[in-house]
Amino acid sequence: MSESDDHEDEAFAETALIQAIENQIEAGEPAATRATLNKLTLVGYEREEIVQLMALVLAHEVKAMLREDRAFDGEAYEQALRALPALPAETD
């Protein structure tokens, strides 16, 4: 796979994660997405930055699912959203 293919894959993944977050906010599910957006907006974060932070949390949970061969952990995901702007620690 070429370097440009890797870049395209990363851009696609980032776009998909951001769209997933936007969908969660719009649907109000999980409720932590709207609560996190509101909390971080109140403390001065821009919406675009908030959505990117939440996408990083979603990416972290997806990577953990794949690494551990398990189902999506909604409770851990919501806890990580509520902990923002602190990002979850990487475990490899």
Phi, psi of 87 (to 5 degrees): -85, 150
Residue ranges of E strands in the chain: none
pLDDT band at residue 8 using 50, 70 and 90 as cut-offs: confident
Which tokens belong to 88? 């979850």
User: Per residue in 16-66, pLDDT tens?
Assistant: 999 999 999 999 999 999 999 999 999 999 999 999 999 999 999 999 999
> What's the pTM?
0.87
pLDDT band at residue 4 using 50, 70 and 90 as cut-offs: low
In the chain, where are the structural domains located? 3-83
pLDDT for 1: 53
- pLDDT beyond 70 at 81: yes
Which tokens belong to 16? 């998909």
Interatomic CA distance for residues 47 and 53, integer angstroms? 10
Instruction: Report the 10 Å Cβ neighbour count for 73.
Output: 14
pLDDT for 2: 61
Interatomic CA distance for residues 70 and 23, integer angstroms? 23
Does residue 77 contact residue 64 with C-beta atoms inside 8 Å? no
